[in-house]
Amino acid sequence: MADTDCTACPELLMRLGAAAAGLHALAALIERKMAEPTMPWRDLLPTLALQARNLAEQAEGRY
C-alpha cells in the first residue's frame, strides 16, 4: 500500500490557491478604493459582497 497524504488533495489545494489569489485581489481592490474612491460606499459594497460570495463558491468547488 502506497503512503498517501489525504490532507493534500490536489483539487483542494487548487481551490485554496485560487481562493487565496481571489482574496488578495479583493483586498487590493478595497485598498485602491480607500485610496482613490470612485463611487460611494453604498454603491461599492454590493460589488464587494458579490466578489466575496464568488470566492466562497469557488472555494466550495461550485465552479
Which pLDDT belongs to residue 11? 82
Which pLDDT belongs to residue 15? 84
Which pLDDT belongs to residue 1? 46
Vertex 54, ends 49 and 57: CA angle to 5°? 125
Which pLDDT belongs to residue 35? 94
Distance CA 12, CA 4 (A): 15
pLDDT digits (tens, 9 = 90+) for 5-48: 666 688 888 888 888 999 999 999 999 999 999 989 899 999 99
C-alpha to C-alpha distances, 23 to 17, 30, 33, 46, 48, nearest whole angstrom: 10, 10, 15, 16, 11
Which pLDDT belongs to residue 27? 94
- Among 3, 6, 11, 2, residue whose Cα is nearest residue 58: 11
